């Protein structure tokens, strides 16, 4: 099943960037469709509170997602639940956006806002206990560990924020970091070190997630650690492990060569256009200094307006 080529642009992903792009596409009177494999909102749905979005001193991530979705729909956003499998530019310059078990959408432009995927530790026990004590979302799973001892692995903003968040449920939270200093912003570090329920374990890397099966259910018992300086091994007893060690951009959806950095983040120009004409990128999968909700919507604003201009120039050159 294939759709007709009657869209001006296809927006892939409905996180903050995708929803903002959809809103601006609607305001610009573009015929756009937004494709999202899950519920609109993206990473906002896995974030309890947003405290750095202008106009909101504090707002729940889910509430902000709902407001952004409603705002986009007010301007006519067509948001469809579909998992995109690949983006391919055809010989005539039209993009074919294939979906899993669904139609192929076609348009002269695409705005890719597909975000990324959390990086795994890739150690024994991690996959086995995923969902049974190993998690990548504190907001999603923190409440399951009331009054228990937890470990957070990582040293960036996400790890520090989630460690602080988990203390509302856990009796104690260990932050396990492989270096002797954190990468997180200073204000987050200050909050972390001021929290009496958090203890940082420096210079340790995780070798294994340990656990067992009890009454037919898997459960985590601890982490096997190795000191990155001395090489000595130790065991840290915990009931749950929350992993925040990185993020991989979902740029693999692009099925031809494109300019990117060594980590796979997409390189764009100042209009958010990639090295492939007509393909724009916005949000967390784009090369940039920082990845926040504010930068995502800023990217998307530029991308949507740039699409309008690109299409106008395309029509002008075609003599339409």
Q: Which residues contact 300 (CB under 8 A, 6 or more apart)?
A: 16, 17, 18, 19, 20, 21, 24, 111, 113, 282, 283
The helix or strand, by DSSP H or E, that contains position 285, with its residue range, turns out to be: none
User: Helices 61-74 and 16-27 meet at what angle, rounded to 10?
Assistant: 20
Token readout for 293 is 């909700």
Nearest to 34 by CA among 118, 116, 99: 99
**Interatomic CA distance for residues 247 and 154, integer angstroms:** 12
Contacts of 119 (CB under 8 A, 6+ apart): 243, 245, 246, 247, 248
- What residue has token string 């530019």? 89
CA atoms within 13 A on the CB side of 224: 11
CA distance 215 to 218: 8
DSSP class of residue 83 equals -
Tokens of 286: 């784009």
Task: Give 224's strand partners.
Answer: 208, 235
The H or E element spanning position 61 is helix 61-74
What is the Cβ-side half-sphere exposure of residue 16, based on CA atoms within 13 angstroms?
23
Active site residues: 137, 140-141
Helix or strand or coil: residue 210?
strand
Residue 14 per-residue DSSP state: -
Cβ(113)–Cβ(12) below 8 Å: yes
User: What is the residue whose two structure tokens read 């792009």?
Assistant: 21
Structure tokens at 187: 């204000």
């Amino acid at each position: 099943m294939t759709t007709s080529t009657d869209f001006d642009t296809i927006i892939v992903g409905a996180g903050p960037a995708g929803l903002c792009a959809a809103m601006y596409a609607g305001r610009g009177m573009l015929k756009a469709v937004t494709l999202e494999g899950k519920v609109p909102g993206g990473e906002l749905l896995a974030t309890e509170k947003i405290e750095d979005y202008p106009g909101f001193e504090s707002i729940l991530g889910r509430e902000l997602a709902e407001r952004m979705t409603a705002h986009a729909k007010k301007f006519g956003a067509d948001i469809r639940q579909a998992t995109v499998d690949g983006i391919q530019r055809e010989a005539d310059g039209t993009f074919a956006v294939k979906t899993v078990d669904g139609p192929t959408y076609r348009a002269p432009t695409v705005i890719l806002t597909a975000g990324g995927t959390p990086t795994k530790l890739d150690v024994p026990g991690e996959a086995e206990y995923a969902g049974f004590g190993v998690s990548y979302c504190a907001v999603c799973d923190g409440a399951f560990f009331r009054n228990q001892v937890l470990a957070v692995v990582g040293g960036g903003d996400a790890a520090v924020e989630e460690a602080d968040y988990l203390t509302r449920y856990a009796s104690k939270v260990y932050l396990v970091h492989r270096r002797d200093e954190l990468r997180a912003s200073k204000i987050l570090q200050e909050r972390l070190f001021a929290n009496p329920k958090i203890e940082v374990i420096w210079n340790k890397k995780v070798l294994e997630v340990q656990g067992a099966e009890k009454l037919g259910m898997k459960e985590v018992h601890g982490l096997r650690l190795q000191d990155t300086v001395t090489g000595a091994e130790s065991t840290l007893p915990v009931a749950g492990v929350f992993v925040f060690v990185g993020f991989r951009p979902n740029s693999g959806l692009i099925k031809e060569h494109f300019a990117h950095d060594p980590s796979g983040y997409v390189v764009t120009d100042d209009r958010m256009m990639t090295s492939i004409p007509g393909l724009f990128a916005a949000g967390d999968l784009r090369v940039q200094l920082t990845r926040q909700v504010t930068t995502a919507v800023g990217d998307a604003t530029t991308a949507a307006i740039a699409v309008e201009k690109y299409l106008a120039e395309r029509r002008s050159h075609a003599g339409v």
